[in-house]
Structure formats: C-alpha cells, structure tokens
Amino acid sequence: MPPALFTVRAAAKRYELGETEVVALDGVDLEIGAGEFVAIAGPSGSGKSTLLHLLGALDTPDRGSVEIEGRDLATLSERERTLLRRRRLGFVFQSFHLVPVLSALENVEYPLWIDDVPAAERRERARKMLAAVGLANRLDHRPDRLSGGERQRVAIARALVHRPVAVLADEPTGNLDSANGAAIFELMRSVRHELGTTFVLATHDPTLMAASPRQIDLRDGRVVSDTLRAEAGA
C-alpha cells in the first residue's frame, strides 16, 4: 500500500430532513494511498457522495476524523480548507458544472485565475491540459457547442490544470452514453498512470466498478467490502 493520502477513522455524518434524521455515514474506516484509483460503489443513499464531500474538505464529520496528507480537517480553519480544495484537490461532477458563457479554454483557466496565476502562464497551462485530453481543436468552443463527452473532458482538464494530488469524481460518466463513458474512464486511468494523480470516483456503473483496481462498497453508510484487483499489465 502506498503512503496514505486520505485517512478516515470512525467517520459518521447525519443530516436533518425536516423531522427525519438521515444517517449518511456510520463509522467509516478506510485509507486511500497516493496514486491509487478507487471506485466507491453502492446504491443511492449508501453514502457515496457524502464520503466524497468529506474527502474533498467540502464537509466535516459529526464524529470521527478525516485526514488529507496527514492534516485533520477538523483542525483547519474554513480558509485553510478552501486553500486545500483549491490547490491540492480537483473535482469532476456528473453534470460537468462548466461556466456556459466561457470557452473551453477559459473554463480550464478559471481555477488558475482564482489562484492569481499570471495570465500568460494560466493560458499556456490550460492549452496544454486541453491538448492532453484531446481537445486542442476545441479551445474556443463554449459548452453548448461541445458534446457530452467533450464537456466532461473539459471538466477533467479543469480539475487537473492546477496539478492536484487527487481528483474526486462524483458519477463522472453518469450523463454519458456507454462509449463516451468508457472513453472518459480510460482518460482518467491514463492520467493517473502518467501523472501519478490519485483518483477516487463514486459510481453506479458496473463496468467502471469492475475495471477499477480498487472498489470500496458502501451500504447504509458503512463499508461492506474493499476489493483489490490486479491491474492489466501489472
């Protein structure tokens, strides 16, 4: 097992929905090593998205702890968590979350603009990242002129442009057909091998689950299995 990037200990999270209390996570323990590719699987309501939110410093557990690179999120200020998300993590969503009035290039530049990277550098890094995901000829296209698969490639380029240690993806192929979904999955695996980026994705897709080197299954907010598979070519 590579050095732990994420460490979760006895993490629990509950939400109030009106007068009903929903247990999203119930005592989760796990470690994810640097450079791993992990699929978080389970039915709707099993806690997949909540777990990603905790790993992504978007939320904190009610009980237990979550550490990223050895830093306990509970000890960080909101500003420190914001900087952690901005500089160390990348996010990919099912619905892409691209800015509709910006071009592909401008969407990928956006995280660097927020982080005050000089204009020439951020433009060059965005161009290179879009070329890396196969979109060198789509730089000036806005999202409405891109296919679903192309939009998700832009989203992946945006998640990677600031060179994060990990990318967290919530149903990244959920809005794509099977061919585009397979292409996006292979793109993520290729990036992981080339750059050493850790990928953690929540998915319902059985094909993605079966092809992932590691699969963690959740049921009712608990880890029920943690499966390691031999990788092709390993």
Tell me the pLDDT tens digit for each residue of 60-98: 999 999 999 999 999 999 999 999 999 999 999 888 899
Low-confidence ranges of the chain (pLDDT < 50): 234
Strand partners, 166: 89, 198
Specify burial of residue 196 (Cβ count, 10 A radius: 0-12, 13-18, 19+): exposed
Q: How far is CA 95 from CA 71, 102, 186, in A?
A: 30, 16, 19
* pLDDT number for residue 16: 87
What pLDDT is stored for residue 233 in this prediction? 53
Mean pLDDT of the chain: 93
CA 112 to chain centre: 18
Domain 36-57+87-228 sits in CATH at 3.40.50.300
